[in-house]
Amino acid sequence: MKIGELAKRSGLSAHTIRYYERIGLLPHADRNRSGQRDYDASILVWIAFLDRLKATGMPIRDMLRYAALREQGTGTEAERGLLLARHRERVRAHLHELQACLVVLDTKIAGYAGNTERMENHDASIPDNGRKPARTRQAGTR
């Protein structure tokens, strides 16, 4: 498939695909007779995996290391597994941190919902006597 089709199917721009290829995240594509890149459809699985690594915050240097090990083929499985296991632990720690943040946000939101109800009830019970609030002054006076 041509780079435009790969871009459409992967969600990456053609520029990003070329960049990933240049830095080693993607293997160099075969070229057709006219010199255009011709990608195999299997690259979509690899791009989807890279997207997951990126979405989970894997540093580019680790992604590059993993890609290099993958390119070397058999004999690198243990190191690739270790790299992914370390990343998984960072992802789990981050999820734990996010869950703690979510509890704080939920508590704050619940508190504001309670305050809104209290303020609405309080505001409804205060009669409007037409007087200005204390400590206000007319514009231009000093």
Confidence of residue 33 (pLDDT cuts 50, 70, 90): confident
Instruction: Average the pLDDT over 34-53 and give the result.
Output: 93
Confidence of residue 32 (pLDDT cuts 50, 70, 90): confident
* Domain at 1-55: CATH code: 1.10.1660.10
Q: Which residue type, as a one-letter code, is found at position 42?
A: S
Cut 0.95: pTM above it: no
Task: Check: CB of residue 66 under 8 Å from CB of residue 77.
Answer: no
The domain locations on the chain are: 1-55, 59-125
Position 18 scores a pLDDT of 94
Instruction: Average the pLDDT over 56-70 and give the result.
Output: 97
Of 56, 62, 64, 55, the closest CA to residue 82 belongs to 62
Q: Which residue type, as a one-letter code, is found at position 116?
A: T
For residue 111, what is the enclosing H or E element?
helix 77-125
**Which alpha helices (DSSP H) does 11-56 contain, by range?**
14-23, 43-55
